Amino acid sequence: MTVFSKILVANRGEIAIRIFRTLRELGIGTVAVYSEADRGSLHAAAADEAYLIGPGPPPESYLSQERVLETAARAGAEAVHPGYGFLAENAAFARACEAAGFVWIGPPPEAIDVMGSKTAARKAMTVAGVPIVPGTTAPVESADDVRRLGGELGWPIAIKASAGGGGKGLKVVSEPDEADRAYESARREGEAYFSDSAVYVERYLEDPRHVEVQILADSHGNLLHLGERDCTIQRRHQKLVEETPSPAVGGELRERIGRLGIDAARAVGYRSVGTIEGLLDRDGNYFFLEMNTRIQVEHTVTEVVTGLDLVREQVLIAGGEPLSLRQDDVRLTGHAIECRINAEDPSNGFLPSPGRITSYREPAGPGVRVDSGVAAGSEVVGLYDPLIAKLIVHGVDRDHARRRMLRALDEYEIGGIATLLGFHRALLEHPCFAAGETCHGVVESKELAEQADRLSHQTTNLAESPDGRLRERVARVELDGRLYEVKALVPEPPFAELARRRRERSGPGAHHGAARDAVVTPMQGTVLAVEVAEGDEVRAGQVICIVEAMKMENEITAHRDGVVTELSVEPGQAVTTGQIVCVVSQDET
Ligand code: MV4
């Protein structure tokens, strides 16, 4: 059964660790690669062997095909697993792996190529009889074309980047007058993201669900599907919550979507695990959107309801094994939900929130799985994807899973950085989610972000605290024979006085005003240079000082225009996470 003796995982963080676990179970040796920014990372420690492959920026390490392949040769690996992101859907890398004598744990490069071009994929699906969203299967050449197509398909229409996917470059056009601007804008985005300005047009579906189907295909012509996943909960085309089964899919529709998925995969000669993504409209029509030619973040919910290990299937398929089960053997049990735990700040426009994790405790208990890549003391590096963990629950039905997720979110403690924990609590408690609706609008609403912020303060800490100077204290309090754990944020002298003055200046209720005039260091490190002096006028974004951490230089910038006061760092000084560098004052008249 052991088809390989050693596999290199060309990835980092939680997905690298998740893959290592399966490889261990298969008795296969594990090789990690890591960048200079990931020297202390868990994924490097989790493998049998770990190799430094270059500096932090991905092009010089995780995206460097040469360095990854050199390392695979040096380590004596037989195969390369790309995980997701980075090189996972790079057909050139898949070919380079095979040319260098390694097995590529993924689909044939030709299938990656066809599915990588959205117009080529739409053409192939039309030939295969798989329904696509009505629109063009070739790029459109002008805004006039867009207007003409709007007339034919009916407004609104969507313009999408041909080389795109995941909604990047998507522009909605409601009427003919908007065609010129939307066309040019979609082309610019295509060029910026994919170096390809080609765009095509689809009818725009109102309030659809994002429903995708998991496919397994071996090298012996066997294909099967493992049911659908519903990924409708997205923000700016980033999936946040995924579940299976879809609240909108019953047995008959599941079979239809499964068959379409298999037809789609077969049409491009697919082999490995892969996902057909589609849109489900309110009338139950299902349209092909694109194929993800990799293992996906949300594969876990399918694992939970099928009992299968999709990474194991992927490795065995790459080793030439036939699938060990048939469609009839697939049993879907209960309901699974995944929440993506990103180091992002919902109260700050979901901006990434890199920094040191000061405290960390994972949930456990019945029906709970955590795929994570961090621990207390981990540094979340801003260079990489903000996904630090995936929290997955399994319940007998949807509401059981939903309540279990809320319980697990409550148990989860991540201190030192902002995360989506509070956002997920707010969302899963929201009536729209409880009812299994699409929640379009709600997910991106200010109300939900504010509720997320309130809930996240239950686990607030030093770095999240209003002035970056508060320490978390736990005291136990007994009231009426019941023990309570109380977390208090205690200002520490000499900063207590500073915090008081700032609050007075900002007035009551101006919590955020008070928070925002101090510049704090987001990480522990050493001050290399201070670029401003007390009393200097600075503009938002201007560099205040440079802090070296983990051999990388980080620019600490002013967050707003103002005058530098209370400057408290000098070159050579060691700073801690959340330490105040200075205050940027504004005249408040
Ligand atoms: C669409 C659409 C409506 N009509 N295409 C594409 C990628 C995915 N991330 C979102 N995409 C959409 N494509 C057409 N022709 C609406 C979306 C969409 C969406 C779809 C399902 C669930 C949530 C969504 C959120 C934003 C946009």
pLDDT recorded at residue 509? 39
Contact call for residues 436 and 378 (beta carbons, < 8 A): no
Q: How many CB atoms are closer than 10 A to CB 349?
A: 9
User: Cis omega before residue 58 (within 30°)?
Assistant: no
Mean pLDDT of 405-410: 98
Digit-coded pLDDT (tens) for 155-208: 999 999 999 887 877 899 999 999 999 999 999 888 888 899 999 999 999 999
Does the structural domain 209-331 have CATH classification 3.30.470.20?
A: yes
Mean pLDDT of 337-344: 98
Q: How, if at all, do strands 6-9 and 79-81 pair?
A: parallel
Ligand 1 pocket, mutate which of 153, 159, 170 (most atoms under 8 A from CB): 170
CA angle 416, 21, 290 (to 5 degrees): 85
The domains spanning 209-331 and 334-460 adopt the same CATH topology: yes
The CATH superfamily of 134-203 is ATP-grasp fold, A domain (3.30.1490.20)
When computed from its CA atoms, the radius of gyration of the chain, rounded to whole angstroms, is 25
Given a cut of 60, whether residue 124 has pLDDT beyond it is yes
pLDDT recorded at residue 513? 41
pLDDT recorded at residue 479? 77
89 CA distance to ligand 1 middle (Å): 21
Helices 179-194 and 143-153 pack at an angle, to 10 degrees, of 110
Alpha carbon 575 to chain centroid, angstroms:
30
Select the more confidently predicted residue: 364 or 579.
364
Does the structural domain 6-105 have CATH classification 3.40.50.20?
A: yes
CATH fold of 334-460 reads D-amino Acid Aminotransferase; Chain A, domain 1 (3.30.470)
Of the pLDDT bands very low, low, confident and very high (cuts 50, 70, 90), residue 469 is low
pLDDT recorded at residue 470? 58
Digit-coded pLDDT (tens) for 499-544: 555 545 444 433 344 446 899 887 788 998 999 999 999 998 899 9
**Atom number, ligand 1, closest to the C-alpha of residue 158:** 15
Question: What are the structural domain ranges in the chain?
Answer: 6-105, 134-203, 209-331, 334-460, 462-491, 495-585
- Which two structure tokens, joined as six digits, stand for 499? 């915090």
Digit-coded pLDDT (tens) for 52-91: 999 999 999 999 999 999 999 999 999 999 999 999 999 9
What does residue 113 show for φ and ψ, rounded to 5 degrees? -60, -50
pLDDT recorded at residue 589? 47
Does the structural domain 495-585 have CATH classification 2.115.10.20?
A: no
pLDDT recorded at residue 458? 55
pLDDT recorded at residue 476? 74
350 CA distance to ligand 1 middle (Å): 20
215 CA distance to ligand 1 middle (Å): 21
pLDDT recorded at residue 506? 45
204 CA distance to ligand 1 middle (Å): 8
Q: SS3 for 91?
A: helix
pLDDT recorded at residue 456? 83
pTM for the full model? 0.82
Mean pLDDT of 16-20: 98
What does residue 280 show for φ and ψ, rounded to 5 degrees? -115, 120
Ligand 1 pocket, mutate which of 160, 205, 281 (most atoms under 8 A from CB): 205
Residue list, ligand 1 pocket, CB within 6 Å = 133, 158, 166-167, 170, 202-205, 208-210, 232, 234, 237, 279
Mean pLDDT of 278-288: 97
